[in-house]
Amino acid sequence: MTARDARLHAFRADLADARLKGEVEADRFVAGRPARITVPVADLRKAPRADAGINTQFLSGDDVLVFEDSQGWAWVQGERDGYVGYVAAAELGERGQAPTHIVSAPRTFVYPGADLRFPIAGRLSMGSTVTVTGAAETRGTHYALLPSGEALIEGHLRPLGAIEADYVSVAEMFVGTPYLWGGVSGFGIDCSGLVQLAMRMAGRDVLRDSDMQAQSVGEPFEPGPDYSGLRRGDLVFWKGHVAIMTDAEAMIHANGHTMLVSREGLRDAVARIGYLYGGPTGFRRP
């Protein structure tokens, strides 16, 4: 049998994705049932328990495959990045109309109608997808209307398929966002979540965790002993951590030191992180 990463392939001793039959051992194989995330942010947990650790998150509109639904928990795999884990079953719904737009602001509000003075009905993060069915204008503010009749600020959306030119500029929009282990939204984000979300908005889907990114994003290179070969957009990896270079000397990263997405000089970070965890383990150019 072929070794598989359980973070990216749905298999357990008792149950596995039917697509893995012949590659992994399991008592039973099932085809995944299509479903969609219906809450702003759904935590993907290591086990079907509310106190289980969070590996990552899915955003509103994300499509998943459901392999098991039991006692309020669904064992799922994200269709976009392949991540496998458990979400609360109540956070899933049927796939309805195809999404037409993606949230392009770090965070935005959902209103019950086309008026910013209305009490908000919800919140969405960058990367959430919605189906726009109409438009409205109230006192000069333009709104996108959803099938529910709810409204979003039109300028906080862009059509699916329209991409940002520079993923680093997207990442810089998150400066000051709280650090959250496993987070991948504008409400809280971790180091590799920042890389994944920023690159997605620039038209490039990458894997979720920093060890995966260190093996798969772009090409490895050596920046030289004084790091003089680094440039904007390069990724710097440590064990369990990744940062994005904003120029030849500075970087941006979600980190547990400031508990924020923050800017830091590379050499300062190397000295600070090295004290506990050692130096950079690799560099990649997307």
Q: What is the pLDDT of residue 51?
A: 97
Q: Domains of the chain (ranges plus CATH)?
A: 16-93 (2.30.30.40), 101-159 (2.30.30.40), 167-285 (3.90.1720.10)
Ranges of residues in the chain with a pLDDT under 70 are 1-2
Confidence (pLDDT) at 27: 98
Residues 67, 75 contacting (CB under 8 angstroms)? yes
pLDDT of residue 1: 44
pTM of full prediction above 0.85? yes
Cα separation, 188 vs 95, in Å, equals 26
Strands 63-70 and 73-78: antiparallel
Which of 59, 53, 56 shows the shortest CA–CA distance to 44?
A: 56
3-class DSSP state of 49: coil
Q: What is the pLDDT of residue 276?
A: 83
Q: How far apart are CA 224 and CA 239, in angstroms?
A: 19
CA 87 – CA 45 distance, rounded (Å): 6
Specify the pLDDT at position 161.
93
Let me know: does 188 contact 180? Beta carbons within 8 Å: yes
Q: Which of 38, 207, 185 is nearest to 126 (CA)?
A: 185
Note the pLDDT of residue 172: 98
